[in-house]
Amino acid sequence: MSSKGKTSSNATWNLDSSTEAPGQLSRCFFSSVSVIHNSYNPAMTTSRRQPTMISPADLADAIAGEFEHIEGDLRIEHAVYGLDARNEVALHTTLADALQRAGFGVYAEQRYPGQRSRKRSEGERCDLVITADALPLRQPDQQDTLFDAPNAIDLDEAFWMEVKVVNQFTIEGPNGSYSSDLLSTVRKDVRKLSREPGILRAGLLIVLFVADPRIAEHDLHIWEQRCIAGSYPIEPPIRRDIAILDRHGNDTIALALYPVRHI
């Protein structure tokens, strides 16, 4: 097991150098009341439910707590492979399970609101759509039908979250696409979330598996600066770090949940 104070070249790469390597980034970045025959009938009183606002910090805490729990189990089992050996699809399932256990409603691979006029099989999809209090998510094509839950959350009341997982090291060794995965792909997600009609609350969750928390801090800072320079509407992140055993070169899971403003 590698210690936090390791000084191998893997933990001390200079991300500002001109040579790309895993862990390196180049410098650039109502209430209506029903009255029947003039008498008040409480059974006929309806009011629009005020949605519970989801706190991004609560989401980050739920995910970090789940990762810590899983890592603890893996250590007891003396597991050869850790969370960093799971592919992105498997980690999405882990994230959904964590949020559901924390009392949220979680709906995976939901079509973006602006894409709903297309066939069900078409259109871009969001990784996770989250509702407060485990409430169902309203599907516009089922609205005012028998399938429409009366307590469903409208699409614009939910929290839409894209997830990007980037490993500095994989089970095969150093990840040569670490920099490009972090710098390019995730910024496309920010643009998509910020400009999509019908989405008012959204965030981008970056999950980094890295050799040292200082690498995550440095790399995320450079990514943020590039987003700011490109006028991407991100807000300061909610950050959580989870220590893991160094099984493949990574000893830290760095979570960074960036709220994304609608523009």
pLDDT for the residue numbered 169? 97
Higher pLDDT, 144 or 174: 174
Strands (DSSP E) found in 74-215: 105-111, 125-131, 159-167, 169-170, 173-174, 201-210
Number of domains in the chain: 1
Does residue 232 belong to any structural domain of this protein? Answer: yes
- Residue 242 — pLDDT band, cuts 50, 70, 90? very high
246 contact partners, CB below 8 Å, separation of at least 6: 1, 2, 211
Domain that holds residue 244: 9-260
Question: Other CB atoms closer than 10 Å to residue 162's CB: what's the count?
Answer: 22
pLDDT for the residue numbered 122? 64
| Eight-state DSSP code of residue 86 | S
Token pair of 46 as six digits: 């309806």
Does residue 2 belong to any structural domain of this protein? Answer: no
The mean pLDDT of 217-224, rounded to a whole number, is 95
Asked whether the predicted pLDDT for residue 147 surpasses 80, the reply is no
End-to-end alpha carbon distance in the chain: 46
The string of pLDDT tens digits covering residues 27-76 is 444 344 333 334 434 443 344 456 578 999 999 999 999 999 999 999 99
Are 83 and 70 in contact, with CB atoms under 8 Å apart?
A: yes
Does residue 227 belong to any structural domain of this protein? Answer: yes
Q: Give phi and psi for 57, each to the nearest 5.
A: -65, -35
Does residue 178 belong to any structural domain of this protein? Answer: yes
Token pair of 105 as six digits: 């409603």
Asked whether the predicted pLDDT for residue 8 surpasses 50, the reply is no
Q: Give phi and psi for 214, each to the nearest 5.
A: -70, -30
Q: What angle do CA 99, 101, 106 make, to 5 degrees?
A: 40
Does residue 94 belong to any structural domain of this protein? Answer: yes
pTM: 0.78
Asked whether the predicted pLDDT for residue 211 surpasses 60, the reply is yes
pLDDT for the residue numbered 157? 93
Does residue 116 belong to any structural domain of this protein? Answer: yes
Does residue 4 belong to any structural domain of this protein? Answer: no
Distances (CA, A) of 199 to 34, 129, 175, 192: 32, 10, 34, 10
> Which residues sit opposite 253 in a β-bridge?
209, 242
The string of pLDDT tens digits covering residues 119-142 is 655 678 999 999 999 999 987 665
The mean pLDDT of 193-222, rounded to a whole number, is 95
192 contact partners, CB below 8 Å, separation of at least 6: 112, 124, 162
Place of tokens 């979680």: 106
pLDDT cut 70: percent of the chain above it: 74
pLDDT for the residue numbered 116? 60
The string of pLDDT tens digits covering residues 11-22 is 333 344 434 455
Does residue 3 belong to any structural domain of this protein? Answer: no
State the Cα–Cα distance between residues 96 and 211, nearest whole angstrom.
Answer: 25
Exposed/middle/buried for 223, CB within 10 Å: 0-12, 13-18, 19+? buried
State the Cα–Cα distance between residues 220 and 217, nearest whole angstrom.
Answer: 5
pLDDT for the residue numbered 146? 58
pLDDT for the residue numbered 49? 54
